[in-house]
């Protein structure tokens, strides 16, 4: 069983193969992280992303996202684990905790 297409018949598949290859390439480019971009999609309409939090609101501990992929940004939701596995990176959150002052 093989591709034994005579003459012009195989040329009818060129547009289909080209379209499929182009669709795969476009999908791949859309999923691929932008080289050099730390922030892939959080508040891209802003010139600079800045968040402010009152120290009193921290509670006992808080994890701040550093991979820029958290759905709860600026808070960490653990998505860095999947990011690290996919990319070989080793990023983790910034953890803040209240010091016990006696």
pLDDT tens readout for residues 64-91? 999 999 999 999 999 999 999 988 999 9
Number of helices (H) and strands (E) in the chain: give both, helices first.
2, 2
Look up the pTM and report it: 0.58
The residues that are catalytic are: 48
Hey, where are the domains in the chain? 1-36, 55-97
pLDDT tens readout for residues 8-59? 677 777 888 889 999 998 888 777 766 667 888 899 899 999 999 887 777 8
| 102: pLDDT strictly greater than 70 | no
DSSP 32-52: SPPTT-S-SSSSTTSSS----
Architecture of domain 55-97: 3-Layer(aba) Sandwich (3.40)
Q: Which spans in 1-102 are helix H?
A: 14-31, 80-87
37 and 26 Cβ atoms separated by less than 8 Å: no
């Amino acid at each position: 069983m093989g591709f034994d297409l005579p003459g012009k018949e195989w040329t009818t598949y060129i547009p289909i193969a080209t379209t499929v290859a182009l669709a795969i390439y476009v999908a791949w480019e859309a999923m691929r992280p932008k080289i050099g971009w730390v922030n892939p999609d959080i508040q891209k309409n802003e010139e600079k992303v800045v968040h402010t939090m009152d120290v009193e609101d921290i509670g006992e501990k808080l994890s701040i996202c550093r991979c820029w992929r958290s759905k709860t940004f600026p808070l960490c939701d653990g998505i860095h684990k999947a990011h690290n596995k996919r990319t070989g990176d080793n990023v983790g959150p910034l953890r803040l905790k209240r010091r016990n002052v006696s």
